[in-house]
Amino acid sequence: MVVRGKPIYDMKCSACHKLDGKRVVGPGFEGVTNRRRPEWVMNMITNVNVMLDEDPTAQALLEECLTRMPNQNVSVSEARDILEFFRNNDEERLKLRDQAVK
Ligand code: HEC
We find that the CATH architecture of domain 2-94 is Orthogonal Bundle (1.10)
**Residue 36: pLDDT band by 50, 70, 90 thresholds?**
very high
Alpha-helical runs (H) found in the chain? 2-12, 32-35, 38-46, 48-54, 56-65, 76-94
CA-based radius of gyration for the chain: 12
- Testing ligand 1's pocket by substitution, the residue of 69, 71, 90 carrying the most ligand atoms inside 8 A of its CB is 69
pLDDT in tens, 70-98: 999 999 999 999 999 999 999 999 999 99
How far does Cα 51 stand from its chain's mean position? 13
Q: What is the 3-state secondary structure (H, E, C) of 36-50?
A: CCHHHHHHHHHCHHH
Distance from residue 17's CA to the centre of ligand 1 (Å):
7
Taken in order 84, 9, 28, 73, the sign of the CA dihedral is negative
In this structure, are residues 2 and 84 in contact, taking their beta carbons and an 8 Å threshold?
Answer: yes
Query: Looking at the DSSP assignment, which residues form a beta bridge with residue 17?
Result: 23
Distance from residue 95's CA to the centre of ligand 1 (Å):
23
pTM listed for this prediction: 0.97
